[in-house]
Amino acid sequence: MALLEVENVTAGYRAGPDILKGVSIKIEQGKTYCIIGPNGAGKSTLLRAICGLLHPRDGNVIYRGEMLNKLRTDQILMRGISFVPQDRSLFPDMTVRENLRMGGYIIRDRTELKERVEDAFQMFPILKERSSQRAKTLSGGEQQMLAIGRALVLRPEIIMLDEPSLGLAPMVTNFIFENIKKLKQAGMTIIIVEQNARKGLESSDWGFVLDLGTTRFEGPAGTILNDPRIQELYLGRAQVNRQEPSP
């Protein structure tokens, strides 16, 4: 049985048109998935529908056999699904440590919370050096590390990352993806929406290609990366053939 299933989901924003038009995906435990596609394809909308920021107009989101459609975002988070949005959504005037502690706001045991914050510092040592700095003073890469670290404090079963490399230098992007691989090795299930398609697919087991609100292709990540049709339509041959494509 799949850990998470999205079944024929249709969704959009307020009274606007449908962005997702019958999307279906299945997520298995312990694997990494990358979702690619052109701008406006519905990639970020799909993650928002999974985590409860949007409620499907039709179709179902099922996690461990439970329907998530009507649950609030905090209820879905407590069930084990964390979401790191594209804008990172940090508390800019709080310190790094305070932001991490906010990630574990439902943990009542202070000793346990302290240990989990230390785990985040172990994954991203630069954050420990910056622990007393306000989040708004961090570089873009440090802010991304903080956003991921905060999402990990609750030790989710699934973590969803929306454009984790957006605006980051290649060296920082490589560091972020090395840590994504470590999370996979630790048994976490990961869903990535990534504009750097090559990097995202190289770090994943399975890929989905969304276009115009529907799932156009899916398959092993390496197969999608090397499929001439997908290179032509969604990746661009020049981008795929370069060693380090621009974000």
Note down the domain range covering 140.
Answer: 89-155
pLDDT in tens, 25-72: 999 999 999 999 998 999 999 999 999 999 999 999 999 999 999 999
Residue 247 forms part of a structural domain: no
Residue 175 forms part of a structural domain: yes
Residue 246 forms part of a structural domain: no
Say how many domains are in the chain. Answer: 2
pLDDT of amino acid 243: 35
Query: Distance between CA atoms of 83 and 160, rounded to whole angstroms?
Result: 5
Residues 98, 207: one domain?
A: no
The reported pTM is 0.91
pLDDT in tens, 122-164: 999 999 999 999 999 999 999 999 999 999 999 999 999 999 9
Query: Distance between CA atoms of 51 and 46, rounded to whole angstroms?
Result: 9
Domain boundary among 128, 155, 182: 155
CATH number at 59 reads 3.40.50.300
Residue 235 pLDDT grade (very low, low, confident, very high; cuts 50, 70, 90):
confident
DSSP string, 192-209: EE-SSHHHHHHT-SEEEE
